[in-house]
Amino acid sequence: MVVAAALCGVLGMGCSTTTQNVRAFRAYMHEEPNIKVCVDRIEDIARILELVDRVLSGQSYTPGDQWPRRLALSDEDARLVKEQLKDKYPYNHPEQEGEHEVPIVKIYRDWIETQLREYGPPPEKAMYPSLMDAVAALSPRGELMRNHYKEYRQATADLGDAVEEESRLKDEISAVKSEGERKSKDPEFNAARLKVQKARDQVTAGKQQMQRDMENLQADAKLDTPQKQQIARDAFTVLSVVLRVEMEAIALIPIVAIQTVRALPNAPKNLTFKPHTKIVKQIWSIPIYVVGLEEHIQRHMAAIELLTATLAKTLDTSVGDSPGFKMRESVVDQVVGITLDSLRVDLRAGGDMYIYSSVGTGEKSASSDGKTTYDYRGRQHKLDYRIDPIVLAAARFDLTLDWIRMPGVASLGFGYSTDRVYRSGGSIENTSLVKQLGIDGPASDIIDAAIDLLGVRSSVRVAKWTAGTVRDVNAQDISQVSSIAPLQLQQTQIDLGYDILWAIDDPKLKSFTEEIVVGGRYLQYTLPRVVYELQDVSQIPGTTNFAFIDPRTGNAVGRESPAQPVTSQYYMIGATARFGQGEGPRWSPFLDLGIYGGAGPTSFYFLKPHIAVTPANDIPANRDNVHDAAFVFNGHTGLGLRWRLLPRGWRVRLDLRALYAADFLYSSIHRSASPDGRARTTDFGAFDVFHGPSLAIRGSL
């Protein structure tokens, strides 16, 4: 079964670091953060832990009691409870009705409290003090197992407290500006780290003991009487419900932590009620509090999984078929698996403008420390590019798959962002990496899917400018034009990266960051260029002055080439990040920043010494060909705004998105020293900028 296989995968990870569930992300991504809702959800999680302790160790039990069988929740019962909770605080706010999802954890909390209240037996008639005592009675060595479970439960709670304290100290130290004050806290922080390590060692030892106890239980337990069989079935039901509840809580915790950080600025005006005392103490440090809470639940869940799996084998069934997992609605990827609900329909329609600009360097410039200067005075020629922007309107329809823990991992496109509706000045084609490599047909689709399932993002953009001119102008007076020629430009950009934000367990970072993509970029385009070579003329040790003219002699020491087509081909590595608060707020601005660096081969030529740069002299026999490496810096920035057009409670998502993005490229060509030992530098005397706005309406279902 899909559910059982997926469940085995997550439970096999034990207490590995939690990453955000895609289903949880999708369920809550459109909510506007509200501190009242966040506090209520934390209270739900804290209360559900108390209920877990109660049903396992604090509720009296007699074989045949109704309450163990009543804890399992069906989809129909869940829907009824959810409808009732929608009319209660904090989900019944008149101005935000239907805008916040009632979490599964809250539904379980209400359901379990109701069942225990209505079906719990009088304590004086119980055969066993608790369900764990009844399970212990199945084995001759059961009393040890019961004691070991209690010790393990306490160890997980102690570990949660220790992790919370360590996180609190980290935050305090990071906020201290003085190096001396930070060092003064080292002993306290080291003690906290040692406490965490000891607590982890205690949990590890406890888990190993629990594993041995489960092996003993499986070996010793003989369900040879109806009463023992009833105990095993009731325990299996309760443990599967506990396991399911803790999985739902783990999926909800990262969402609450992120939303709490985002909601804190408006907390004073939104927090107009009297919450639980413990929550009041934690209200301004919930992100730190949930770190310890998450650690505690994760470790405790490992023991519950062992108990549940052992009883499943004893009863010849599986965890996936247990009563606790009969409800299909969930925000846990591993519970639901891959279903039709994992597919999203995305429709985008709008317009884009893509512009090429060349920004010339100043006649004189210097490094930030002033030790390196550049002086282009004395050059004769510059190129003036006048290229019409690409303007296009297009529509695109995609069917997108959300894989377990990987949102939007695969996409099947039914439209292309090219000239399907309107175009002017050229075209832009977005294609796949595999097709760019020359692989077409079914093989292309299979390889694309394999790359996507690894969580790798790939994109290819081919932009073609078809309307433009290039002018050869006087470097000192650009109104003097020597020649004009038609110009076409084609740019190919390939990006390959991975969004590492999903692997980072930092709610504060995720509260203002939407993605961090680390990877590589390939960029290739050809332009007419005038190449400039400057030589160091400095006479001061420790400084470098690259110049065209030596100020001491007035002689030209630099060179400039004739105008010629030069191919820029770069291989880069770097990262891009989007900073914003997601799609929850009605008005949601965001900022894109990126930086890449790399190198690539380049070829060009100068005319040989003492030969004037004129069209008549530009013949192969007079050329001094150069083949060298060019180093490139690529900065990216973008500023955008999302405007949600439909109410948040609607199933259909529709918003208007505007973005202005720009890529800045500066390249410098490595050159060896001149014959007299003076350093040389070579560049194109300009920055290349690819930029433009886009405006689109985007809908999703």
| Tens of pLDDT, residues 567-593 | 999 999 999 999 998 887 888 999 999
In this predicted model, what pLDDT tens digit does every residue of 661-672 receive, in sequence order? 999 999 988 676
Confidence of residue 644 (pLDDT cuts 50, 70, 90): confident
In the chain, % of residues over pLDDT 90: 50
Q: Is residue 327 located within the same domain as residue 417? A: no
Number of domains in the chain: 2
Distance CA 33, CA 31 (A): 6
**Domain carrying residue 319:** 2-6+19-337
Confidence of residue 15 (pLDDT cuts 50, 70, 90): very low
Is the separation of the CB atoms in 417 and 352 below 8 Å?
yes
The predicted model scores a pTM of: 0.79
Is pLDDT larger for residue 351 or for residue 439? 351
Q: Is residue 201 located within the same domain as residue 267? A: yes
* 18-32, 122-136, 512-526: least confident range: 18-32
Q: Which helix (H) or strand (E) holds 130?
A: none
Q: Is the confidence at residue 273, as pLDDT, over 70? A: no
Q: Is 81 helix (H, G, I), strand (E, B) or coil?
A: helix
In a domain, 615, yes or no: yes
In this predicted model, what pLDDT tens digit does every residue of 340-351 receive, in sequence order? 566 667 788 888
Confidence of residue 365 (pLDDT cuts 50, 70, 90): confident
Q: Is residue 168 located within the same domain as residue 204? A: yes
Q: What pLDDT is attached to residue 547?
A: 92
Phi, psi of 658 (to 5 degrees): -125, 140
Is the separation of the CB atoms in 626 and 652 below 8 Å?
no
Q: b/e string for 101-126 if b means 16 or more Cβ within 10 A?
A: bbbbbbbbbbbbeebbeeebbeeeeb
Q: Is the confidence at residue 403, as pLDDT, over 60? A: no
The 3 state secondary structure assigned to 438-482 is CCCCHHHHHHHHHHHHCCEEEEEEEEEECCEEEEEEECCCCCCEE
Q: Is the confidence at residue 673, as pLDDT, over 50? A: yes
Q: Is residue 404 located within the same domain as residue 321? A: no
Q: Is residue 467 located within the same domain as residue 598? A: yes
Q: Is residue 270 located within the same domain as residue 173? A: yes
Q: Is residue 680 located within the same domain as residue 615? A: yes
- Among 337, 361, 376, give the residue marking a domain's end: 337
Q: Is 129 exposed, middle or buried (0-12, 13-18, 19+ CB in 10 A)?
A: middle
In a domain, 101, yes or no: yes
Mean pLDDT of 114-139: 88
Kindly state the tokens that stand for 578.
């989007």
Mean pLDDT of 135-140: 88
Q: Is residue 441 located within the same domain as residue 523? A: yes
- Among 337, 360, 380, give the residue marking a domain's end: 337
Distance CA 554, CA 50 (A): 86
Q: Is residue 302 located within the same domain as residue 429? A: no
Distance CA 594, CA 518 (A): 10
Confidence of residue 416 (pLDDT cuts 50, 70, 90): very low
- The neighbour count for residue 316, using CB atoms within 10 Å, is 6
Q: Name, in order, each residue with C-beta under 8 angstroms of 410's C-beta and a sequence gap of 6 or more.
A: 400, 401, 403, 448, 449, 452, 453
Q: Is the confidence at residue 452, as pLDDT, over 80? A: no
Nearest to 683 by CA among 666, 701, 699: 666
Q: Is the confidence at residue 275, as pLDDT, over 70? A: no
Mean pLDDT of 641-645: 91
Mean pLDDT of 166-195: 88
Q: What pLDDT is attached to residue 68?
A: 96
Confidence of residue 414 (pLDDT cuts 50, 70, 90): very low
Is the separation of the CB atoms in 698 and 346 below 8 Å?
yes
Q: Is the confidence at residue 415, as pLDDT, over 50? A: no
Q: What pLDDT is attached to residue 446?
A: 53
Q: Is residue 278 located within the same domain as residue 377? A: no
Mean pLDDT of 353-361: 92
Task: Tell me which long-range contacts 336-341 makes (C-beta under 8 A, separation of at least 24).
Answer: 336/3, 336/23, 337/2, 337/3, 337/5, 337/6, 337/404, 338/2, 338/401, 338/403, 338/404
Q: Is the confidence at residue 447, as pLDDT, over 80? A: no
In a domain, 422, yes or no: yes
Q: Is residue 300 located within the same domain as residue 360? A: no
Q: Is the confidence at residue 534, as pLDDT, over 70? A: yes
> Which stretches within 176-270 are classed as H helix?
179-184, 186-220, 226-263, 267-270
Confidence of residue 4 (pLDDT cuts 50, 70, 90): very low
Mean pLDDT of 421-432: 80
Is pLDDT larger for residue 430 or for residue 342? 430
In a domain, 450, yes or no: yes
Mean pLDDT of 460-466: 92
In a domain, 13, yes or no: no
- Among 303, 337, 371, give the residue marking a domain's end: 337
In a domain, 383, yes or no: yes
Q: What pLDDT is attached to residue 282?
A: 56
In a domain, 252, yes or no: yes
Q: What pLDDT is attached to residue 201?
A: 96
In a domain, 431, yes or no: yes
Q: Is residue 280 located within the same domain as residue 317? A: yes
Is the separation of the CB atoms in 343 and 399 below 8 Å?
yes
Planar angle of CA 681, 682, 685, nearest 5 degrees: 120
